[in-house]
């Protein structure tokens, strides 16, 4: 009985020790030499990936609603305040990437600094983050595409243009829709691009970033041409591009 208790205690100690085991930073860096992966992203692609992640679909959807209904011109202050945590986060990632130049991003950094169990939690969190953010972006993109196509009298059937599950104040409910066809097609397209390779994904991302900046630049140019006092106070109106109700 004593031998069994000692064995169980030893196994438990070994189990928790493995959970808290940290990777050796030198062994992690040395593993790059035998890694089958090769570096294909340069400075331009990395900057483009960062800009593409920051300037996402939300800036075309949430920004206008927040400015029109809630914050008004004070929304610019929110953007300025967000610069500082984003800057500190970027500096942390940059320092860790320079110290531990290995694949795995936050998972590898956490495994070296805090241990395997903590890095597993980080990996699960990153996976859930990608799932939730990817679904939100695809649904937002689908709504914008359907609104654009309605201008040309192209309407998706309700069964294939919305989510089968909705959310209200009382909880979840079934909407009667089958699936969101544009959102599914966008997800499949992104999956195919990712399967092609890292360099191909970076090229597609560069194109999307250029298009997004062209759209934003066109918006500001049009507002400057057709709105009086474009550098003055922001104005809000629900049915006109140039507003009459001032904040």
Q: What percent of the chain has pLDDT over 70?
A: 79
3-state secondary structure string across the chain:
CHHHHHHHHHHHHHHHHHHCCCCCHHHHHHCCCCCCCCCCCCHHHHHHHHHHHHCCCHHHHHHHHHHHHHHHHHHHHHHHHHHHHHHHHHHHHHHHHHHCCCCCCHHHHHHHHCCHHHHHHHHHHHHHHHHHHHHHHHHHHHHHHHHHHHCCCCCCCHHHECCCEEEECCEEEECCCCCEHHHHHHHHHHHHHHHHCHHHHHHHHHHHHHHHHHHHHHHHHHHHHHCCCCCCCCEECCCCCCCCEEC
pLDDT of residue 9: 62
pLDDT of residue 236: 45
- The residues spanned by each domain of the chain are 42-219
pTM: 0.66
- What is the tens place of the pLDDT at every residue in 93-138? 888 888 887 777 788 888 888 888 888 898 899 889 888 888 878 8
């Amino acid at each position: 009985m004593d031998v069994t208790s000692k064995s169980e205690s030893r196994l438990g100690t070994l189990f928790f020790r493995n959970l808290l085991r940290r990777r050796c930073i030198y062994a992690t860096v040395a593993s790059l030499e035998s890694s089958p992966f090769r570096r294909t992203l340069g400075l331009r692609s990395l900057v483009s990936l960062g800009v593409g992640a920051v300037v996402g679909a939300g800036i075309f959807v949430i920004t206008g609603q927040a400015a029109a209904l809630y914050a008004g011109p004070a929304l610019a202050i929110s953007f300025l305040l967000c610069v500082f945590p984003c800057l500190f986060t970027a500096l942390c990632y940059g320092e860790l990437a320079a110290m531990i130049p290995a694949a795995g991003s936050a998972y590898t950094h956490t495994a070296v600094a805090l241990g395997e169990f903590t890095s597993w939690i980080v990996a699960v969190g990153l996976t859930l983050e990608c799932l939730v953010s990817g679904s939100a972006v695809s649904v937002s993109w689908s709504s914008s595409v359907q609104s654009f196509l309605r201008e040309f009298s192209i309407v998706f059937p309700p069964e294939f243009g919305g989510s089968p599950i909705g959310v209200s104040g009382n909880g979840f409910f079934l909407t009667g829709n089958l699936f969101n066809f544009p959102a599914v097609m966008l997800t499949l397209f992104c999956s195919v691009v990712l399967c092609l390779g890292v360099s191909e994904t970076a090229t597609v991302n560069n194109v999307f970033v250029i298009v997004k900046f062209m759209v934003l630049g066109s918006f500001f140019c049009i507002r400057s041409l057709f709105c009086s006092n474009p550098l003055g106070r922001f104005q809000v109106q629900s049915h006109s591009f140039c507003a009459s109700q001032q904040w």
